[in-house]
Amino acid sequence: MTATSKLTSKNQTTVPKAVTEALGMKPADQFVYEIQADYVILRARTGRLADLAGAFAHVGIRPKKPLTKEQTREAIGKFLGEEDARIRREWQKERRAEARATAKK
């Protein structure tokens, strides 16, 4: 999916509805901007536990003992790393498709 928005004189923009719906975002959710050489990766940070669904899959539904802080951090880090990689792959795929479409013109 590709979407655009304009930057106002106050450095503000409106996020297209299609984007917020695709990401399942609600008012007060945050975006994380990751600046690269010639582009920006914009990620949703909603703060909902549902965002971490599957992050603890390796410990099973009911672990025998509570996770340590380190185990929790590790699981969350792994989940976020996998999400970042997935988002990057999708973005790169879209960028290649746009480049091919532009080259055909």
Task: For residue 47, give the nearest of 80, 69, 21, 12 by alpha carbon.
Answer: 80
pLDDT of residue 24: 81
pLDDT tens, position by position, 10-61: 999 888 998 888 888 888 888 888 888 888 888 777 666 555 555 555 555 5
Say yes or no: domain 1-47 is CATH 3.30.160.
Answer: no
Q: Give the 3-state secondary structure of residue 54.
A: coil
Q: Is the pLDDT of residue 81 over 90?
A: no
pTM of the predicted protein model: 0.43
CA distances from 98 to 2, 60, 64 (A): 10, 41, 50
What pLDDT sits at residue 80? 85
Residue 9 pLDDT exceeds 80 = yes
Both tokens assigned to 64: 């025998």
Instruction: Break the chain into its structural domains and give their ranges.
Output: 1-47, 50-105
pLDDT above 70 covers a percentage of the chain that reads 82
Average pLDDT over residues 82-94: 87
**Spatial contact of 58 and 74, defined as CB atoms under 8 Å apart:** no
Q: How many CB atoms lie within 10 A of CB 75?
A: 18
Q: What is the per-residue pLDDT for 86?
A: 86
